[in-house]
Amino acid sequence: MLIVALAWVYLWIDARAMSSMPMGARQMSAMANAAGTGTLAMYFLMWAVMMVGMMLPSAAPTILVYGAMVRKNGERGTVLPAVWVFTGGYLLTWTVFSLVVAVLQMFLQRSALVTPMMVSASTDLSAAILIAAGVYQWLPLKEVCLRKCRNPLAFFLTRWRAGGLGAFRMGVENGAYCVACCWVLMLLLFVTGVMNLLWVALITAFVLIEKVLPAPKVTSNIAGVLLVAGGLVVLING
């Protein structure tokens, strides 16, 4: 939880620094950095820290189950790889996702589809992301991946791998299911503003709700309807 807290503190400081910068300075800074090699690294770091803050809370049930298994086996004299090994594999998948989405952000900004303030400048883009996120909520792939993320004990029983490398691979695999479950929801940040911490928190809360509350299919379907409706409203009003 300390890591999550530090990630949110970093995001808050970053968002505050951006909001306090004059608009002209922001635009000039963005133009100056558009072709710089450090821009991708800056975006990557921002997304990587954001994914830690957003996704570790929803992964807590799975991590706690693995930790309980480590403790129980330790009491019986069997040493399992430490919790951080499994967690490291989980975070690796979101780190890879962060790199991909950072590259996407650079492309969108250079195409003038996203503003220097990291929010969509295109009605069509905003509508497309909203509708795509809504439709994805209804797809069988979403349901399968969500089921894997919601049932950590079943995951470990069916996907168990021994040893340190095995624990790391289990973390990677569990993270891959979570990425497949939530990746379109993360793209909603281009609509609301990548550094809009209110929406970052709301999406984080929704991801957690999907994973821990009963009737996940109902929750996903309702969210899908609302997202598609929102996309259509944006498209019509645009």
Could you tell me the pTM of the whole model? 0.88
Q: What angle do CA 73, 78, 82 make, to 5 degrees?
A: 70
Quick: pLDDT tens for 62-112: 999 999 999 998 888 888 899 999 999 999 999 999 999 999 999 999 899
- Average of pLDDT values for 22-44? 61
**Other beta carbons less than 10 A from residue 97's beta carbon:** 21
pLDDT band at 36 (very low <50, low <70, confident <90, very high): low
- Average of pLDDT values for 230-237? 93
> Measured between alpha carbons, how far is residue 48 from residues 30, 93, 119 in Å?
20, 10, 18
Quick: pLDDT tens for 172-203: 999 999 999 999 999 999 999 998 999 999 99
pLDDT score of 165 more than 70:
yes
- Average of pLDDT values for 124-135? 96
Average confidence score pLDDT of the chain: 88
- Residue 21: predicted pLDDT: 60
- Residue 22: predicted pLDDT: 58
pLDDT score of 166 more than 90:
yes
Q: Which of the two residues, 216 and 166, has the higher pLDDT score?
A: 166
- Residue 47: predicted pLDDT: 95
Q: Which residue type sits at 152?
A: P
CB 206 within 8 A of CB 147: no
The DSSP-derived string for 151-169 is: -HHHHHHHH---HHHHHHH
pLDDT score of 23 more than 80:
no
Separation CA 155–CA 176 (nearest Å): 13
Q: Which of 7, 35, 18 is nearest to 110 (CA)?
A: 35
Q: Which of 146, 5, 183, 149 is nearest to 63 (CA)?
A: 149
Share of the chain above pLDDT 90, in %: 66
- Residue 6: predicted pLDDT: 85
pLDDT band at 31 (very low <50, low <70, confident <90, very high): very low
Quick: pLDDT tens for 212-224: 888 888 899 999 9
Residue extents of the structural domains in the chain: 2-237
Q: Is 119 exposed, middle or buried (0-12, 13-18, 19+ CB in 10 A)?
A: middle
